[in-house]
Chains A and B, each alone.
Chain A
Amino acid sequence: MSALSKLKEAYLCLKAGRVTLPYPARPQPVPPRFRGRPIFDANRCIGCAGCANNCPAREILVFDVCQEIRILKYLGRRCTYCGRCADLCPEKAITMSKDFETATPSIADLQQTLELFMSTCQRCGRCFKEPTPLEQLKLKGYRFDDLAHDRWIFRSKAYLEKDQVAGDIDLELD
């Protein structure tokens, strides 16, 4: 009985033959819904920070440099490629690309930084008295931890260390 089952097993193996794919020698196409690393389109983004507030990995940071410039930074470190950011972006400024071979010794290869021009009040030239979208977010419970970090939209109660922030961003503004 056992001998017979051994024969059957041998037959199974022979019949299957070789099944290993020649990847990476030959590139492997991915299915249409595949979610690779997200790509941000600066021309479409309106800086609403919807993606930043809904990223489960907290991978997207939004940073106001002055009244008019908002920086959106995708950090690319622990992104889980879940595609929530692309789902939620009202302007469809994010595409989940087919790019999955992202191994790199330099994290900057994956990071993306958008510089967005925001508008100020056309009448007085100052910011609005009414709550700005940023302040509205704050009213909803998004945390800006202290003065130095008041520029951040980040909902977590996590405290961003000052120097760590500088390291994260590495902004070079003149």
Chain B
Amino acid sequence: MASRDILHQLKQRFGAALPRANVAGLDRLYVFVTPEALKDVCQFIFRDLDARYIISIGADDRPYSGKFLVAHNFAFDARHVLCSVLTEVNANGGRPQVPSITEVVPPANWAEREFRDLVGIEPVGHRYPKRLVLPDGWPEGVHPLRKDVPHDFCPPDYDENRDFQFEAPPEGCVVVPFGPFHPTLDEPTHFRLYVEGETVRGCEYRGFMAHRGIEKLAETVLGYNDIPMMAERICGICGCVHNVAYAQAVENAAAIVVPPRAEYIRTIMLELERLHSHLLWVGLACHIVGFDTLFMQAFRIREPVMWMAEQISGNRKTYSLCVIGGVRWEITPELRTGLRQVLDKLEAEWQAVVAAVSRDRNLQRRTRGVGIATPELVKNAALIGPVARAAGVAMDCRRDHPYAAYDRVEFEVIVEHGGDVWSRVVVRMKEVFESIKIIRQCLDKMEPGPLQAEIKDELPPGRFGMSSVEAPRGESHHFVITGENNRPRRWRVRAPTYQNLQGIPAMIKDQQLADMTISLGSIDPCFSCTDRLEVVDIRNQQTHVWSQEELVRLARRKT
């Protein structure tokens, strides 16, 4: 039993520093450690046992245990175990402190800054504890994810007009602002690039411009079965992924067994989503480098997939597929036939496109050797998904931590070794065929049966659940602590871009400024909506950041 083995190893080494543990099955492990030992345990897991870092969670557990909770999640891919290292932190009069693990586990950087902002747990020893998520004008000492803060609270001393303090650029570099609303990247994110000549030497990232407070809503307003519909709206493309991941996390926590037919339907919808996401991304990547032919063709081929999704679920994109314990939409025999036809046509057409594109030298010149992620970077920034697979790291949650019906279908994990943007294009082009294969197998194997498990009792409070789902752009990870009032006590979503973005500074370092867009585009970044704009007047070199009022006025002006 793999999770027991790992616990055994930890016990042997750290003994009394692990007061309790919960082996929640073959593939889930929850270990409580004392705060003092946290760093060593994480180092041991991350370096010696070679686990992959997933995410850190901070939670306000004061109403139940009087303490704060910090969890660092790791994945043992080869041993198929998801492991959570939990620490209870003394409330310390509302100023809890926990030792930072970033020194030994560098990818925990953002996650620690995030729980510092949102829950107010201070990561002691963090090298760069700058504000990450909260808006610039938010006062110190107010932490929105604490239980005593209402979900619609806006502090009275919130200063809308305060500016964000950027770091000074290094010697000899000029600053080039990149985004929000860059001509080739219409996403709400701001990179401050330090450029020397034409070469990018570094950058500072400022994102989280439109924080939607979804986790807080789930903890205070919505119920278990409302959240899937909202989780779906976390991302415009991998919506179904979050929907399934959340449902699975709760099912994992409450030990609900999903009927097999529902599992197959989940798998089919997830793969349909991967199909249209990959087609979309390959199109967009080509659009970024100015190759619009493929952009058009990819979108043309993608459209029947969307129509099929619409026939199955009633919507092109937001499928509203899962509720806890099952799915809502049935795949009837007619839909099955329709789906097969769509897949056959898609396969033939995509083969033609891949054959035409794979030798295109212009495209390769623009993407080879650009935005390189090495296997070391993959480990140290915890990169995932196609970015990792293109760097020769074979990781895929579908295989490593099987969920839904993935343990009953056969597919290959596509791996390339270039680590550059071209390898990512190749990986994603090839994965389309794997998805087609998976859907076909599911259609063959689907068993008759109910769509939803019957849930008679209330879900038990205070249980942990974890679920990883392979989204088209990487692994989405959901962590749930179940709670009272028909809603989770804590729900943490880690979307794939959250980790992949942290690798961007290393990927763009020392390369041409012009390659910045495709490097960033190659991780398939998925931000959110934005609310600010900087204008540079080229005549008198004045910059001006538009405030929200000005923007609203501008938008409403009658032309």
Q: Does A31 contact B (CB under 8 A)?
A: yes
Q: Are B361 and A82 in contact (CB under 8 A)?
A: no
Q: 8 Å CB contacts to A: which residues of B300-352?
A: 300, 303, 307, 310-315, 318, 320, 328-329, 352
Q: Are A16 and B300 in contact (CB under 8 A)?
A: yes
B314: chain A residues within 8 A (beta carbon): 31, 33-35, 83, 96
Looking at the complex, which one of A12, A32, A81, A87 makes contact with B356 (CB distance below 8 Å)? Answer: A12
A87: B residues at CB distance < 8 A:
328
**Interface size counted on chain B using CB atoms at 8 A:** 42
Task: For A16, give the chain B residue with the smallest CB separation.
Answer: B300
Q: How far is the CA of A11 from the CA of B297 in the complex (A)?
A: 11
Is B23 positioned at the interface, with any CB of A under 8 Å from its CB?
A: no
Q: Which residues of A contact B356 (CB under 8 A)?
A: 5, 8-9, 11-12
Which chain A residues in 94-130 approach chain B with CB under 8 Å?
Answer: 96
Q: A2-B362, A156-B221 are in contact. Are A9 and B293 (CB under 8 A)?
A: yes
Whether A8 contacts B328 in the complex (CB less than 8 A), given A19-B303, A34-B314, A56-B227, comes out as: no
Bound Cα distance A87, B225 (Å): 12
Is B353 positioned at the interface, with any CB of A under 8 Å from its CB? yes
Q: A56-B229, A80-B318, A157-B220 are in contact. Are A33 and B311 (CB under 8 A)?
A: yes
Q: Is the CB–CB distance between A157 and B221 below 8 Å?
A: yes
Whether A33 contacts B329 in the complex (CB less than 8 A), given A16-B297, A155-B223, comes out as yes
| B287 located at the interface, meaning its Cβ lies under 8 Å from any Cβ of chain A in the complex | no
Quick one: which of A7-36 are within 8 Å of B by CB?
8-9, 11-13, 16, 19, 30-35
CA distance A13 to B352 in the complex (A): 11
Distance of A33 Cα from B338 Cα, bound (Å)? 15
A136 to chain B, nearest CB (A): 15
In the complex, are the beta carbons of B293 and A13 less than 8 A apart? Answer: yes
Q: A5-B356, A83-B320 are in contact. Are A56 and B230 (CB under 8 A)?
A: yes
Q: Which residue of A lies closest to B299 (CB)?
A: A19
Tell me, yes or no, whether B233 is within 8 Å of chain A by CB. yes
Instruction: Given the known inter-chain contacts A8-B356, A56-B229, A82-B320, please indicate yes or no for A13 contacting B296, CB distance below 8 A.
Output: yes
Contacts of A9 in B (CB 8 A): 293-294, 297, 356-357, 360
Taking CB atoms and an 8 Å cut-off, the chain B residues in 349-394 that contact chain A are 352-353, 355-362
Q: Which of chain A's residues 34-77 have a Cβ closer than 8 Å to chain B?
A: 34-35, 54-58
Known: A33-B329, A54-B226, A56-B229. A157 touches B151 (CB 8 A): yes
Q: CA of A96 to CA of B314 in the docked complex: distance in angstroms?
A: 10
Q: How far is the CB of A155 from chain B (nearest CB, A)?
A: 7
B219-250 at interface with A (beta carbon < 8 Å):
220-223, 225-227, 229-230, 233
B360 touches A5 (CB 8 A): yes
CB distance from A133 to the nearest CB of B (A): 18
B289 to chain A, nearest CB (A): 14
A34 / chain B contacts, CB cutoff of 8 Å: 310, 314-315
Task: Name the residue of chain B whose CB is nearest to the CB of A30.
Answer: B310
Let me know if B97 is at the binding interface, CB within 8 A: no
Q: Can you list 19 pairs linking A and B with CB atoms under 8 Å apart?
A: A8-B355, A8-B356, A9-B293, A9-B297, A9-B357, A11-B356, A12-B293, A12-B352, A32-B311, A33-B311, A54-B223, A54-B225, A80-B229, A80-B233, A84-B226, A84-B320, A87-B328, A96-B314, A158-B220
Binding site for B on A (CB under 8 A): 1-2, 4-6, 8-9, 11-13, 16, 19, 30-35, 54-58, 80-84, 87, 96, 141, 155-159
Given contacts A12-B293, A57-B229, 6 further A-B contacts (CB under 8 A): A12-B297, A34-B310, A55-B226, A80-B320, A84-B226, A84-B320
